[in-house]
Structure 1
Amino acid sequence: MKPKIAFFDTKSHDKASFLEKNQQYGFEIKFYKSHLSKDNAILAKGADVVCIFVNAEVDAEVIDILVENGVKLIALRCAGYNNVDLKAAKNRIKVVRVPAYSPHSIAEHTLALMLTLNRKIHRAYNRTREGNFSLEGLMGFEMKGKTAGIIGTGKIGKIVMQILKSMGMNILAYDLHPDTEFAEKNGIRYTTLDELYRDSDIISLHCPLTKETEYLINKDSIDKMKEGVMIINTGRGKLINTKDLIEALKDKKVGYAGLDVYEEESDYFYEDHSDVVIDDDILARLLTFNNVIVTSHQAFFTKEALAEIARTTLQNIQDFFDGKPLVNEVSA
Structure 2
Amino acid sequence: MEIVAYGVQADEEPLLREAFDQAFAGRHRLRCLSLFLDRDTTPTADGHEIVLCCVNDTLDAEVLRSLAAGGTRMIAQRSTGFNNIDLTAAEELGLTVARVSAYSPYAVAEFAWALALAVDRRIVRAAHRTREFDFRLDGLMGRDLHGRTAGVVGTGRIGTAFTRIAHGFGMRLLGWDITENPDCLALGMRYTARERLFAEADLVSLHVPLLSDTHHLVDAQALALMKDDAILVNSSRGGLIDTDALLDTLRAGRLRGVGLDVYEEEAGLFFLDKSLEVMTDERLARLMTFNNVLVTSHQAYFTRDAVEQIVATTVTNMEDYFAGRTGDNTLVRPSPS
How do residues 279-318 of structure 1 correspond to structure 2 at under 5 angstroms?
279-318=280-319
Contact 1:74-1:96 at 8 Å conserved across structures: yes
- 2:140 maps to 1:138: yes
Amino acid at match of 2:23: Y
| Structure 2 counterpart of 1:196 | 197
| Structure 2 counterpart of 1:178 | 180
CA distance in 2 between counterparts of 1:258 and 1:303 reads 22
Alignment match of 1:19 (pick from 2, 12, 17): 17
| Structure 1 counterpart of 2:5 | 7
- 2:101 maps to 1:96: no
Q: Could you tell me how far 1:247 is from its partner in structure 2?
A: 1.1
Q: 3-state SS of the aligned residue for 1:330?
A: strand
CA distance in 1 between counterparts of 2:41 and 2:273 reads 21
CA distance in 2 between counterparts of 1:67 and 1:162 reads 44
Unaligned runs of 5+ in 2: none
Contact 2:214-2:240 at 8 Å conserved across structures: yes
| Structure 2 counterpart of 1:82 | 83
CA distance in 2 between counterparts of 1:11 and 1:200 reads 36
| Structure 2 counterpart of 1:111 | 113
Change (3 A) 1:176 1:331: farther
Q: 3-state SS of the aligned residue for 2:306?
A: helix
- 2:122 maps to 1:124: no
Contact 2:2-2:48 at 8 Å conserved across structures: yes
Contact 2:155-2:184 at 8 Å conserved across structures: no
CA distance in 1 between counterparts of 2:185 and 2:328 reads 30
Say what the alpha-carbon RMSD is for the aligned residues.
1.3
Q: 3-state SS of the aligned residue for 1:90?
A: helix
Task: String of CA shifts for 1:270-308, please: whole Å, max 9, x gaps.
Answer: 111122221111111111111000000000111111111
CA distance in 2 between counterparts of 1:72 and 1:274 reads 37
Amino acid at match of 1:121: I
CA distance in 2 between counterparts of 1:326 and 1:68 reads 26
CA distance in 2 between counterparts of 1:317 and 1:291 reads 43
Amino acid at match of 1:90: E
| Structure 2 counterpart of 1:263 | 264
- Structure 1 runs (4+) deviating above 3 angstroms are none
CA distance in 2 between counterparts of 1:132 and 1:253 reads 27
Amino acid at match of 2:11: H
Amino acid at match of 1:111: W
Amino acid at match of 1:19: R
Q: Could you tell me how far 1:71 is from its partner in structure 2?
A: 1.2
Task: String of CA shifts for 1:195-250, please: whole Å, max 9, x gaps.
Answer: 10110001000000011110111111111111121100000001001111011111
Contact 2:53-2:75 at 8 Å conserved across structures: yes
Q: 3-state SS of the aligned residue for 1:173?
A: strand
CA distance in 2 between counterparts of 1:322 and 1:218 reads 45
CA distance in 1 between counterparts of 2:121 and 2:10 reads 33
| Structure 2 counterpart of 1:37 | 38
Q: 3-state SS of the aligned residue for 2:23?
A: coil
Q: Could you tell me how far 1:39 is from its partner in structure 2?
A: 1.7
| Structure 1 counterpart of 2:163 | 161
Amino acid at match of 1:322: A
Q: Could you tell me how far 1:29 is from its partner in structure 2?
A: 1.1
Q: Could you tell me how far 1:145 is from its partner in structure 2?
A: 0.3
Contact 1:151-1:204 at 8 Å conserved across structures: yes
CA distance in 1 between counterparts of 2:193 and 2:328 reads 32
Q: 3-state SS of the aligned residue for 1:21?
A: helix
Contact 2:6-2:52 at 8 Å conserved across structures: yes
Contact 1:245-1:254 at 8 Å conserved across structures: no
TM-score by length of 2: 0.95
Unaligned runs of 5+ in 1: none
Q: Could you tell me how far 1:65 is from its partner in structure 2?
A: 1.4
